[in-house]
């Protein structure tokens, strides 16, 4: 047995075989000119790579269910295709470039043609072609004759391999081990049925961590060195509750992990206090009412949010509609998604954030830019204000969906008043377009800003004059205040929303909102941390938005404490100088509340 420590990003315990996305999966595809005399050798390498891939697939078929066997059969057929393989040979002979480059071009071309049909069946075949020949590519890259083998950047991965393990079959129930993955890749792995995530990099508020929590997939980040120690199929136990990964677990550990996982599951669905009372309002012992809403990435999650006890959606991260495809979603697609979320929440407020692409969630042209500091770059409204057509399309879709219920529009990464004024100009343009076309839209749709840049928090009083509401995004607010990349495990110890600097900015925003009579909420991960909620209530926050999974526990916390206790706590915290001291004080006070509840 061997253990590795990391940061718990999404709780739970799971055991299973490793699916290893090693840096080999991210090699850039080499491209170079070859002599005519060398084409035979390149073709021979290709043939043996194909033969090897066929053998691998035959082995994989053993013990699979019907659906998986069918997929693998399709891959086998593709690797014997009597038309496609000769086309590759022809390109190799005529273009005189290395076989890896020829293979990449032909596979990309075939996949593009299939996708361009717009037919969902054919688009799925495009994925199969990439899958089957991705396996051949890996064999080529690993046959010792390829000049590659150098790990590329993650951007290379996207460009070259259609990544997300797309080149390999991801066995359901496996635990993904990788250096890092993008949110769009996480979506693909979720669809493949992975049971857990272990990353060498990343922090607890990275977008992958946020998704894992929403999907209730156990995840640990910052597990240094694990990639060098595991291979596909190795059995591991991932205990994300304690942030430990165990390789080659003993039979005893395996069975205790399985028992713990089962009891956790039973607990999740058993009618315990938190779950049964999830639908009831969140009221403190002394009668203060808190509003709890959910964060979602897709409209279909609104149903789950309701069942978890959400009183609305406090953050719909609309950029997930834009990820995972090379083309931007059109107005109708967006309208349908926003409308579904609004209708699903049956009249409750639904705050939809406009496109927050960039940083770790790049779309199309942003990826090509190769920014040195994407987190400080062309992201969110900065991108939208440069691509006004993209922005107006989204705003029209939002305004139209607003007629279906209680939709509110929220603008991310606002850094100053001028930027917000410009955003409103585009909003007016979108309204004018709908008006001239006679299309119904929500004329008085409420608009708010995210407070997630320190400059916005400091000037929250100025922004409050121009916004219907403000929502504090503590993930980015902490990142930018502390100058700590939220994805970087090396400096994760500095990423703490309990840091006095972050708390002061939160307080400044709350005060500015109160002064201006503007609703303030919080939708960063801090709002779903029960200890933080206790303190935030005392600081004056009443509206919290979090992953649906966190709602029952946070409601349970709110019911256990009184606002008077929270306010007293907030007072005592003001003099403290470190996150550690503050957390300790919060935990101590919480213990006292627990004890007094037990004694009742």
CB of 317 to Mg ion, least distance (A): 9
Tokens of 418: 């001028």
β-bridge partners, 546: 294
What are the φ/ψ torsions at residue 152 (nearest 5 degrees)? -90, -175
Give which of 380, 314, 326 is closest to 522, Cα–Cα.
314
Q: Is 485 in the site for ligand PEP (CB under 6 A)?
A: no
C-alpha distances in Å from residue 64, one per residue of 170, 176, 287, 593: 12, 19, 55, 52
Task: Report the site for ligand PEP in 524-553 (rule: CB under 6 A).
Answer: 524
Q: Which of 75, 158, 162, 207 is catalytic?
A: 207
Among 523, 551, 561, 563, binds ligand PEP (CB under 6 A): 523
C-alpha span between 482 and 192 (Å, rounded): 36
Mention every residue, 6+ apart, whose C-beta is less than 8 A from residue 69: 61
Q: Residue 408 binds which entry of ligand PEP, Mg ion, none, with Cβ cut-offs from 5 to 8 Å by kind?
A: none
C-alpha span between 509 and 245 (Å, rounded): 40
CB of 38 to Mg ion, least distance (A): 51
Task: Report the site for ligand PEP in 421-480 (rule: CB under 6 A).
Answer: 452, 473-476
Among 131, 185, 201, 476, binds Mg ion (CB under 5 A): 476
Q: Is 565 in the site for ligand PEP (CB under 6 A)?
A: no
Q: Is residue 20 among the annotated active site residues? A: no
Q: Which of 384, 459, 497, 523 is catalytic?
A: 523
C-alpha distances in Å from residue 385, one per residue of 389, 418, 425, 480: 9, 12, 10, 21
Residue 353 and residue 391 in contact, taking contact as beta carbons nearer than 8 Å: no
Q: Is 25 in the site for ligand PEP (CB under 6 A)?
A: no
Q: Is 319 in the site for Mg ion (CB under 5 A)?
A: no
CB of 555 to Mg ion, least distance (A): 24
What are the φ/ψ torsions at residue 214 (nearest 5 degrees)? -65, -35
Q: Is 358 in the site for Mg ion (CB under 5 A)?
A: no
Q: Residue 206 binds which entry of Mg ion, ligand PEP, none, with Cβ cut-offs from 5 to 8 Å by kind?
A: none
DSSP track, 378-420: S-HHHHHHHSHHHHHHHHHHHHHHGGGS-EEEEE-S--SHHHH
Which residue's CB is nearer to ligand PEP, number 15 or number 471?
Answer: 471
Q: Is 360 in the site for ligand PEP (CB under 6 A)?
A: no
Q: Residue 474 binds which entry of Mg ion, ligand PEP, none, with Cβ cut-offs from 5 to 8 Å by kind?
A: ligand PEP
Q: Residue 317 binds which entry of ligand PEP, Mg ion, none, with Cβ cut-offs from 5 to 8 Å by kind?
A: ligand PEP
β-bridge partners, 448: 410, 469
C-alpha span between 238 and 251 (Å, rounded): 15
CB of 486 to ligand PEP, least distance (A): 8
CB of 188 to Mg ion, least distance (A): 23
Q: Is 473 in the site for Mg ion (CB under 5 A)?
A: yes
Q: Is residue 459 among the annotated active site residues? A: no
Among 100, 160, 311, 452, binds Mg ion (CB under 5 A): 452
Q: Residue 486 binds which entry of Mg ion, ligand PEP, none, with Cβ cut-offs from 5 to 8 Å by kind?
A: none
- 346 in helix, strand or coil? coil
Angle (nearest 5°) at CA 175 between 62 and 150: 95
Q: Residue 523 binds which entry of Mg ion, ligand PEP, none, with Cβ cut-offs from 5 to 8 Å by kind?
A: ligand PEP
Catalytically active residues are: 207, 523
Judged by the rule CB under 6 A, the positions of this chain that interact with ligand PEP are 315, 317, 356, 452, 473-476, 523-524
Judged by the rule CB under 5 A, the positions of this chain that interact with Mg ion are 452, 473, 476
């Amino acid at each position: 047995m061997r253990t590795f420590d990391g940061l718990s990003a999404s709780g739970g315990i799971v055991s299973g075989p490793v699916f290893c996305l090693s840096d080999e999966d991210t090699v850039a595809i080499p491209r170079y000119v070859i002599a005519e005399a060398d084409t035979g050798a390149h073709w021979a390498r290709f043939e043996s790579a194909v033969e090897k891939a066929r053998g691998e697939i035959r082995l994989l078929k053993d013990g699979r269910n019907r659906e998986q066997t069918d997929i693998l059969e399709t891959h086998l057929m593709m690797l014997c295709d009597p038309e496609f393989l000769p086309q590759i040979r022809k390109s190799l002979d005529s273009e005189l470039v290395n076989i890896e480059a020829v293979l990449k071009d032909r596979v990309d071309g075939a996949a593009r043609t299939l996708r361009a049909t717009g037919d969902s069946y054919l688009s799925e075949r495009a994925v199969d072609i990439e899958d089957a020949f991705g396996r051949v590519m890996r064999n080529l890259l690993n046959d010792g004759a390829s000049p590659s083998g150098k790990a590329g950047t993650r951007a290379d991965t996207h460009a070259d391999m259609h990544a997300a393990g797309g080149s390999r079959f991801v066995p359901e129930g496996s635990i993904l081990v990788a250096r890092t993955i993008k949110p769009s890749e996480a979506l693909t792995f979720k669809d493949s049925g992975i049971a857990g995530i272990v990353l060498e990099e990343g922090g607890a508020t990275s977008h992958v961590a946020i998704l894992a929590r929403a999907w209730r997939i156990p995840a640990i980040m910052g597990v240094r060195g694990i990639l060098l120690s595991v291979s596909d199929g190795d059995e591991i136990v991932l205990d994300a509750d304690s942030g430990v990964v165990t390789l080659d677990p003993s039979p005893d550990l395996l069975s205790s992990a399985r028992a713990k996982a089962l009891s956790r599951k039973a607990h999740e669905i058993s009618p315990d206090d938190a779950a049964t009372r999830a639908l009831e309002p969140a009221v403190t012992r002394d009668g203060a009412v808190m509003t709890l809403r959910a964060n979602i990435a897709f409209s279909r999650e609104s149903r789950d949010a309701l069942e978890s006890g959400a009183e609305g959606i406090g953050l719909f991260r609309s950029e997930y509609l834009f990820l995972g495809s090379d083309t931007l979603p059109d107005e109708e697609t967006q309208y349908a998604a926003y409308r579904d979320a609004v209708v699903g929440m049956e009249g409750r407020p639904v705050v939809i954030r406009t496109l927050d692409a960039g940083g770790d969630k790049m779309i199309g042209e942003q990826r090509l830019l190769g920014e040195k500091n994407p987190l400080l770059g062309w992201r969110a409204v900065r991108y939208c204000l440069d691509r006004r057509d993209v922005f107006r399309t989204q705003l029209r879709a939002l305004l139209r969906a607003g007629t279906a219920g209680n939709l509110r529009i929220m603008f991310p990464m606002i850094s100053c008043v001028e930027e917000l004024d410009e955003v409103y100009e585009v909003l007016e343009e979108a309204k004018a377009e709908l008006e001239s076309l006679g299309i119904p839209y929500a004329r008085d749709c409420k608009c708010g800003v995210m407070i997630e840049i320190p400059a916005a928090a400091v000037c929250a009083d100025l922004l409050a004059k121009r916004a219907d509401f403000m929502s504090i995004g503590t993930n980015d607010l902490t990142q930018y205040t502390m100058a700590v990349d939220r994805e970087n495990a090396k400096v994760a110890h500095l990423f703490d929303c309990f840091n006095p600097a972050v708390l002061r900015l939160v307080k400044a925003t709350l005060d500015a909102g109160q002064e201006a009579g503007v609703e303030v909420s919080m939708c960063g991960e801090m709002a779903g941390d029960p200890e933080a909620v206790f303190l935030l209530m005392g600081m004056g926050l009443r509206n919290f938005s979090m992953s649906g999974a966190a709602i029952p526990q946070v409601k349970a916390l709110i019911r256990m404490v009184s606002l008077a206790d929270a306010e007293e706590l907030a007072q005592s915290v003001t003099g403290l100088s470190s996150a550690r001291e503050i957390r300790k004080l919060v935990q101590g006070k919480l213990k006292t509340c627990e004890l007094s509840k037990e004694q009742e």
